[in-house]
Chain A
Amino acid sequence: LVLTQSPATVSLSPGEGATLSCRASQNVGYYLAWYQLKPGQAPRLLIYDESNRASGVPARFSGSGSGTDFTLTIRNLEPEDSAVYYCQQRSHWPPSFGGGTKVEIK
């Protein structure tokens, strides 16, 4: 099962919104999560089971979709949102990750 993320990179200004896509080669139901990775920091679980925010994650992060097409939306971008975002599925063994989308804040 392959997860394809797009775009590879997005460059936006603070206050703008970002829409990140994750497409699965097979149906994964709602078994999809999103992680945020910053250099030198522990990766952070943002969204699990497609649309549930992990504890402490700001409400401007939201997940949607089902089956094969998923979206991570980040509203009102802040400088601290600069990171690489990965989707991950656990519907099919073994768990697998997408290639990531880098979000740059201008």
Chain B
Amino acid sequence: QVQLQESGPGLVRPSQTLSLTCTVSGGSISSGGDYWYWIRQSAGKRLEWIGRIDSSGNTNYIASLKSRVTISIDTSKNHFSLRLESVTAADTAVYYCAREGGPYEGWFDPWGQGILVTVSS
């Protein structure tokens, strides 16, 4: 079964770039029709969709972050990545990666366990 695992630094300095990778195991990231998402949750706030990418590299981003976000995919390594530039304390959150597709077309399954990223000097 497909599993996702986030990796990256847990601490990022303000104004720097947050970079995370989601490694997919148990299946191919190139599966047609799947979308690969980044989702985050700040303390006390609801889950927020950041953006998505398909195996062809087509992306969509949430409007509020569009100027700072880049999602990329490396099919040879079976992973996809998130870059968030010019971070502030407001970007402190648990970041999740998730698949939209598979047997539950249109819904997020599976998810990674999440990685806490703190923005602080």
Contacts and interface: CB of A to CB of B under 8 A. Distances in A.
Interface of A: 31, 33, 35, 40-45, 48, 54-55, 86, 88, 90, 94-100
Contacts of B96: 42-43
B111 to A, nearest CB: 4
Nearest to B63: A94
A48 to B, nearest CB: 5
A52 to B, nearest CB: 8
Interface stretch (B12-20, B24-32, B78-86, B100-108): B100-108
Contact of A90 (B4, B107, B111): B107
A45 B108 contact: yes
A88 B103 CA distance: 17
B113 A40 contact: yes
B47 interface: yes
Interface residues of B, number: 20
Contacts of B49: 94-97
A44 B111 CA distance: 7
B46 A54 contact: no
A97 B110 CA distance: 16
Contacts of B112: 42
Given A42-B110, A42-B111, A86 B104 contact: no
Nearest to B37: A95
Given A45-B108, A54-B104, A94 B62 contact: yes
